Structure 1
Amino acid sequence: MTKQLILSLMLAGAAIAAPSGAMAATTQQITASSTAPATVHYRTATIEGVKMAYREAGPADGPVVLLLHGFPTSSHMFRNLIPSLADRYHVIAPDYPGFGESDAPDHKQFAYSFAHYADMVDALMGQIGAQRYAMYVMDYGAPVGYRLALKHPERVSGLIVQNGNAYDEGLGAFWDPIKTYWKSGSAKDRAAQAWLVTPKATKFQYTDGVRDVSRISPDNWVHDQALLDRPGNSEIQLDLFYDYRTNVPLYPQFQQFFRERKPPTIILWGKNDTIFPEPGAHPYLRDLPEAELHILDTGHFALEDKLDEMAPLIRDFLDRKVAPR
């Protein structure tokens, strides 16, 4: 049966069983439950001569939610979350240069750094005309977003933090070899990080710490690895691993931003994450004591198997704290 035929039969049944007033109410309920799926637009903007791709959905005049992805993925990580927000919120999810559908200029010609990414996201938001926004920050998205917050603290209407670090406690044993590279900057220590862009490492990031791996689509690591394997992309990623060291000295400034601006914050943290483990979640409460903390039984990319838990929490938070009715 077509959707229209099914709807007609339901209305006919309601008409037989109910008076005219009840019939009107039934029609209204059915119409309300038949919400059209969100339309997602896949757009690009040119910033500093570089094509920057982004996903955009929702009403142009709605409260803005900026979704900032982690390594080694892109705005693709938000593909399932966007529809749950786009009926009311203006959702923007960029791909950083070197990721997703954005350009990936040669690393000798383009500065792959978190400071540069923050500047480019800032320019993108300026082109779109977004003057205030809540930010979802995850993994690399945390230093990008928090640097953006330092530039424009008055623009941040709220924070959704998911395995995005801002405290020394969140840099566990996983980071020790990378810290060695930070200290030396040597070719040898750089080469030692190359395993992080291999298929095994990419799959690990999606499956480690997940209780039911059958809930994780293999499309994730196939998609991400295809982009990592583009000529020259491994050098881009190695540059970023090295530049991550510049984020750590900014942690006190990030924390000062939390204390002074007190943005409404919800923290959703995969407790089994090896890269950004649970000890990185709790220190946020030192500076944001009103933050809502949810520890989830999953790993790094929590949206992949915990969307059914996370989306209602995020939507409720935004409705209460960012754009109350």
Structure 2
Amino acid sequence: MTVAKRPEDTPLVLRASTTDDVRGAFLHLAERFSPEEARGLDARWVIELTDHAAAATTFHVAGGRILVSPGAADGPDARLRTDAATWLDLVSGRRDGVAAFLAGQIEIEGDLNLAARFETMFAPGPEATRLLRTVETPVRGVRLESLVAGHGPPVLLLHGLGANKVSFLPLLDGLADRHEVHALDLPGFGKSDKPLPTGRRYTMAWMADMVHGYLVRNRIRDVHVVGNSMGGRIAVELALRHPESVRSVIGLGAAVAFDEYQRFGPLLRFTRPHWFGAAPVPVRRPWVEAGIRELFCDPSRVPAANFRAAADDTMRYLRDPGYRLALLACARHLGAERSGGRRCFWTRLATMDTPSFWVFGARDRLVRHRYAARVADSLPAATVDVWDDVGHVPQFELPERATAAVRDWIERIDAPR
């Protein structure tokens, strides 16, 4: 498809889902392609319109160029399925892709990270109020990728074990109207580099130092850090090791030192079982999807298509030995965390002066809500809540409530300024 440039003073206004409007939308989007934002990519996206004659269109990005062609390419990296009206809203900027996906207006198959990145490769539409960016940051020889949106006081989102930045899309969407929100792929996960688990790598201290490096390279200070599961544990370590950089810590089902794993602690500390991750392990997709559903108190709160997309995404990463090694190495270090003694997690946690807000789910099967009382004992000044109707990922299961709780906490902490 050859793209003809429009005169700069002739805006394209997309309103109705007619055939000409839809065809014009594809052309208009190609005109706004930004080669710099697509650096290093070689990927294909298929856009399917469920209610339009132009059923499918393929975008192929490679070598800093874009090719738009009718029809669906075989084996695309990501497939986005929506209706024509939503597509026109997305191209014009009246809606953004993250909000449409969370509302169930877009179904995604394939690589969720690449699906989220699609929007970032184009200049904003004429009616856009928010810019979504993909940022690559080198830290100690490791390339870290993040999704950034909004303007204002900074907020950093840290995902849990085995997940990636996509798991924080609801908070990214909900907070970006008042904050500059950074959803980071931790080392070993998502689209960030996956170095071998040698030396200190993948300890919580090393992960916190890598996150601090990201903050330094992007000149971010006084940041509110929101962490889910392992991300919450890293947020605590970041506040303990680099308190000057952290305004507050918000833990959503945050990992702690688990008493129930202590009998395995010596074995995990003095062996290296994570190297078994170098060998492929047969995993069936239904098992993966069932495991993801177990993270929720009520899976019906999330569109079924989103579970399928998450399972497909996880299966893709499980084929990468670097991801498997990182996953098992982080799990080993979390399981080996001491829950007693002079240098144990709970003793160190009690020394944290950074304001903190903790949410535990009463139906969380991974981080039991009984740890809420122990956090409250260690940090008497902290705010600790137990939500009766939520599992391990409150930001996805109850996104409006989680966003409101995080926003209220940040406003409370920032009020004295």
Determine if the TM-score, normalized by the shorter chain, exceeds 0.5: yes
Aligned length in residues: 284
How far off is 1:288 after superposition?
3.1
Q: In 1, are the aligned partners of 2:132 and 2:148 still within 8 Å (CA)?
A: yes
Q: CA separation in 1, counterparts of 2:274 and 2:415? A: 50
RCO higher in 1 or 2 (8 Å CA, sep ≥ 6)? Answer: 1
Alignment of 1:215-230 (within 5 A): 215-216=301-302, 217-218=306-307, 219-230=309-320
How far off is 1:211 after superposition?
4.0
Q: In 1, are the aligned partners of 2:226 and 2:250 still within 8 Å (CA)?
A: yes
Q: Which residue of 2 aligns with 1:240?
A: 330
Greater helix share, structure number: 1
Say yes or no: does 1:50 pair with 2:142. yes
Matched residue of 2:178: which SS? coil
Unaligned 5+ segments in structure 2 are 1-12, 17-126
Alignment of 1:89-168 (within 5 A): 89-107=179-197, 111-166=201-256, 168=257
Out of 318, 321, 324, the residue aligned to residue 413 of structure 2 is 321
Residues 87/311 of structure 1: CA separation in 2 closer, same or farther (3 Å cut): same
Q: CA separation in 2, counterparts of 1:52 and 1:288? A: 32
Unaligned 5+ segments in structure 1 are 6-34
How far off is 1:137 after superposition?
1.9
How far off is 1:199 after superposition?
5.0
Q: In 1, are the aligned partners of 2:239 and 2:249 still within 8 Å (CA)?
A: no
Matched residue of 1:272: which SS? coil
Q: In 1, are the aligned partners of 2:298 and 2:390 still within 8 Å (CA)?
A: no
TM-score in terms of structure 1 length: 0.75
Partner AA of 2:391 in structure 1: G
Q: Which residue of 2 aligns with 1:30?
A: none
My pick for the range that moved more, 103-112 or 79-88, is 103-112
How far off is 1:247 after superposition?
4.0
Greater strand share, structure number: 2
Q: CA separation in 1, counterparts of 2:300 and 2:351? A: 40
Partner AA of 1:283 in structure 2: R
Say yes or no: does 1:76 pair with 2:166. yes
Q: CA separation in 1, counterparts of 2:272 and 2:138? A: 34
Q: In 2, are the aligned partners of 1:58 and 1:88 still within 8 Å (CA)?
A: yes
Out of 279, 290, 301, the residue aligned to residue 370 of structure 2 is 279
Matched residue of 1:136: which SS? strand
Partner AA of 1:46 in structure 2: P
Matched residue of 1:82: which SS? helix
Q: CA separation in 1, counterparts of 2:329 and 2:413? A: 37
Q: In 1, are the aligned partners of 2:158 and 2:225 still within 8 Å (CA)?
A: yes
Q: CA separation in 1, counterparts of 2:403 and 2:213? A: 28
How far off is 1:117 after superposition?
1.4
Residues 42/289 of structure 1: CA separation in 2 closer, same or farther (3 Å cut): same
Out of 303, 306, 320, the residue aligned to residue 398 of structure 2 is 306
Q: CA separation in 2, counterparts of 1:196 and 1:270? A: 31
How far off is 1:102 after superposition?
0.5
Q: In 2, are the aligned partners of 1:271 and 1:277 still within 8 Å (CA)?
A: yes
Q: Which residue of 1 aligns with 2:107?
A: none
Residues 147/234 of structure 1: CA separation in 2 closer, same or farther (3 Å cut): same
Out of 287, 292, 295, the residue aligned to residue 206 of structure 1 is 292
Q: CA separation in 2, counterparts of 1:205 and 1:176? A: 24
How far off is 1:323 after superposition?
4.8
Q: Which residue of 2 aligns with 1:295?
A: 386
Alignment of 1:176-187 (within 5 A): 179=265, 181-182=267-268, 185=271, 187=273
Q: CA separation in 2, counterparts of 1:264 and 1:320? A: 11
Q: In 2, are the aligned partners of 1:45 and 1:51 still within 8 Å (CA)?
A: yes
Identical counterparts, % of pairs: 24
Q: In 1, are the aligned partners of 2:362 and 2:390 still within 8 Å (CA)?
A: yes
Describe the superposition over 1:270-319 as per-residue Cα deviations: whole angstroms up to 9, x where unpaired.
Answer: 22122111012222222333433332212212222111221111111112
Q: In 1, are the aligned partners of 2:346 and 2:378 still within 8 Å (CA)?
A: no
Matched residue of 1:277: which SS? coil
Q: In 2, are the aligned partners of 1:172 and 1:276 still within 8 Å (CA)?
A: no
Matched residue of 1:79: which SS? helix
Partner AA of 2:369 in structure 1: E
Residues 107/155 of structure 1: CA separation in 2 closer, same or farther (3 Å cut): closer
Q: CA separation in 2, counterparts of 1:84 and 1:324? A: 23
